[in-house]
Amino acid sequence: MKRTICLIDAENYSAKKLSEVTKFIQRNDNLVEMRVYGDFSRPGLKTWTKYATSKNMILVDEPGAVAGKNSSDISLVVDAMTLLYERRHEFDQVALITSDSDFAVLARRFRKNGVDVQGFGEAKAPENFRMACNNYWCYNEVVEENKRPHGLSGPLLKLIKLLKKAIQQNLNADGWAMTASVNRSVRSLNPSIHHKRYGAKKFSDLFRRSDLRTMFELRRVGDSLQVKIAC
């Protein structure tokens, strides 16, 4: 169970959707702190003030003193660096709740320092931010995961779904797929997914994981390795 701190860009995410996100995080991890950033004098952000108070969140109000300048984004990044370099021992994972590509650099900095980054936002989020996170979750994916019985972690369920889809795209006449072809399809379907993030030295090792090997079958045919979905 990872200790998770949420950093929320209120100007790029709705307060009405946050309850599903926190529920999702708490299915498998410990939510230790939530911080929300924005110019809460703006009419569109009034709901955040009430919500943050009711949920014991840290509300960081940054009125936009200069037109075209987003003070709240800067404040979020400054606080993130303080967390990383002064409070790193207090958390293992960060949830960046935003659809703003400007935070891609921040996500990469966290990961470079050994912090897992879970991104939550809208489907419109640019690819560079999605790929900068270990995993990126759209709101509808979060809702669907919350409906599942508690068991396998959300990121692992996402991987299983992706692997099965890639296998189905590459089936040969006898119902098997070459792992090399499946790997290419996975990269095409979701470039942010890489086997090393799941502790596998090579792609085919994913199917040998103790929590996945009952779901897939492997066989060697000549020089190629093939996989199929277990019955």
Dump pLDDT digits (tens) for 71-121: 889 999 999 999 999 999 999 999 999 999 999 999 999 999 999 999 999
Distance, in Å, from the CA atom of 155 to the CA atom of 136, rounded to the nearest integer, reads: 9
The CATH code of the domain at 154-229 is 3.30.420.610
Q: Locate 20 and state its tokens.
A: 């599903």
Residue 31: CB partners within 8 Å, gap ≥ 6? 4, 6, 22, 25
Instruction: List the chain domain ranges.
Output: 3-147, 154-229
The CATH code of the domain at 3-147 is 3.40.50.1010
Q: Give residue 49's region: left, alpha or beta (phi > 0; psi -120 to 50).
A: alpha
- Cβ atoms of residues 200 and 206 within 8 Å: yes
Neighbours of 204 (CB within 10 A): 17
Q: Using one digit for the tens of pLDDT, what is the confidence trace for 176-202?
A: 999 999 999 999 998 878 887 777 888
Q: Using one digit for the tens of pLDDT, what is the confidence trace for 115-149?
A: 999 999 998 888 899 889 988 888 988 887 787 66
Between the two ends of the chain, the Cα-to-Cα distance in Å is 31
Long-range pairs, 46-50, Cβ under 8 A, ≥24: 47/15, 47/16, 48/10, 48/15
Distance, in Å, from the CA atom of 63 to the CA atom of 42, rounded to the nearest integer, reads: 8
pLDDT at 226: 94
